[in-house]
A and B are shown apart, each in its own frame.
Chain A
Amino acid sequence: MKPILLQGHERSITQIKYNREGDLLFSVAKDTVVNAWYSVNGERLGTYNGHTGAVWCVDCDWDTKNVLTGSADNSCRLWDCETGKQLALLETSSAVRTCGFDFSGNIIMFSTDKQMGYQCFLNFFDLRDPQQIKDNQPYMTVPCSESKITSAVWGPLGDYVIAGHESGEINQFSAKSGEVLKKIKEHTKQINDMQSSVDLTMVISASKDNTAKLFDSTTLDHIKTFKTERPVNSAAISPIMDHVVMGGGQEAMEVTTTSSRIGKFEARFFHAAYEEEFGRVKGHFGPINCVAFHPDGKSYSSGGEDGYVRIHCFDPHYFDFELEA
Chain B
Amino acid sequence: MHETMDMADDPEYEEEEPSFSDSEDFVDDIEDDELLSDLMREKPLEADGIDSVVVVDNVPQVGPERLEKLKNVVNKIFSKFGKITNEFWPMDNGTTKGYIFLEYLAPTQAQEAVKNADGYKLDKQHTFRVNVFTDFDKYMNISDEWETPEKQDFKDFGNMRHWIEDPDCRDHFSVIYESGERTAIYANDAKESITVEERARWTETYVRWSPKGTYLATFHQRGIALWGGEKFKQIQRFSHQGVSLIDFSPCERYVVTFSPLMDTKEDPQAIIIWDILTGQKKRGFHCESSAHWPIFKWSHDGKFFARMTQDTLSIYEAPSMGLLDKKSLKIFGIKDFSWSPGDNVIAYWVPEDKDIPARVTLSHMPTREEIRVRNLFNVVDCKLHWQRNGDYLCVKVDRTPKGTQGVVTNFEIFRMREKQVPVDVVEMKEGIIAFAWEPNGSKFAVLHGESPRINSSFYHVKNNGKIDLIKSFDKQQANSIFWSPQGQFLVLAGLRSMNGALAFVDTSDCTMMNIAEHYMASDVEWDPTGRYVVTSVSWWSHKVDNAYWLWTFQGRLLQKNNKDRFCQLLWRPRPATLLGAEEIKVIKKDLKKYSKIFEQKDRLSQSKASKELVDKRRAMMDEYRLYREAAVQTLLEQKELRLELRGGVDTDELDSNVEDWEEETIEFFINEEIIPLGDL
Contacts and interface: CB of A to CB of B under 8 A. Distances in A.
A273 B624 contact: yes
A323 B617 contact: yes
A63 B621 CA distance: 35
B671 interface: yes
Given A157-B641, A261-B519, A1 B672 contact: yes
B153 to A, nearest CB: 48
Interface residues of B, number: 40
B635 interface: yes
Contact of B645 (A40, A103, A242, A321): A103
A176 interface: no
Interface residues on A, range: 35 or more
Contact of B646 (A104, A199, A272, A314): A104
Given A201-B635, A216-B631, A1 B677 contact: no
A262 B680 contact: no
The 7 A-B pairs with the shortest beta carbon distances in the complex, nearest first, are: A280-B678, A273-B624, A104-B645, A325-B617, A201-B631, A279-B677, A2-B673
Interface in A53-89: 62-63
Contacts of B57: none
A315 B677 contact: yes
11 contacts: A62-B646, A63-B649, A103-B642, A156-B638, A157-B638, A199-B652, A223-B627, A229-B547, A279-B680, A315-B674, A325-B617
A14 B618 CA distance: 38
B182 to A, nearest CB: 17
A266 interface: yes
A262 B671 contact: no
Contacts of B627: 216, 223
Interface string B599-642: 00000000000000010011011011101000110110010011
Contacts of A156: 635, 638
Contacts of A158: 645
Contact of A223 (B624, B641, B649, B651): B624
Contacts of A321: 680
B544 A2 contact: no
B654 interface: yes
A100 B642 CA distance: 17
B673 A1 contact: yes
A280 B676 CA distance: 9
Q: Which residue, B562, B638, B677, has most C-beta atoms of chain A within 10 A?
A: B677
Given A2-B672, A323-B617, 5 more contacts: A2-B675, A40-B668, A262-B544, A295-B654, A325-B621
Contacts of A224: 624
Given A104-B645, A216-B631, A282 B544 contact: no
Contacts of A22: 654
Contacts of B670: 1
A281 to B, nearest CB: 6
Contact of A274 (B545, B620, B635, B649): B620
Contacts of B624: 223-224, 242, 272-273
A275 B673 CA distance: 30
Contacts of A275: 620
A179 interface: no
B533 interface: no
A250 B614 CA distance: 33
Interface in B482-507: none
Given A2-B673, A41-B668, A157-B638, A201 B680 contact: no
Nearest to A4: B670
Contact of A2 (B545, B625, B649, B671): B671
Nearest to A282: B678
Contacts of B666: 40-41
B620 A296 contact: no
Interface in A213-245: 216, 218, 223-224, 229, 242
B610 to A, nearest CB: 8
B271 interface: no
B617 A250 contact: no
B207 interface: no
A146 interface: no
Contacts of B634: 201, 218
Given A1-B672, A279-B680, A157 B635 contact: no
B524 to A, nearest CB: 20
A261 B614 CA distance: 32
A86 B244 CA distance: 69
Interface in A275-293: 275, 278-282
Interface string A188-229: 000000000001011000000000000010100001100001
Contact of B642 (A63, A157, A242, A323): A157
Contact of A318 (B620, B623, B625, B677): B677
A21 interface: yes
B447 interface: no
B346 interface: no
Interface string B102-132: 0000000000000000000000000000000
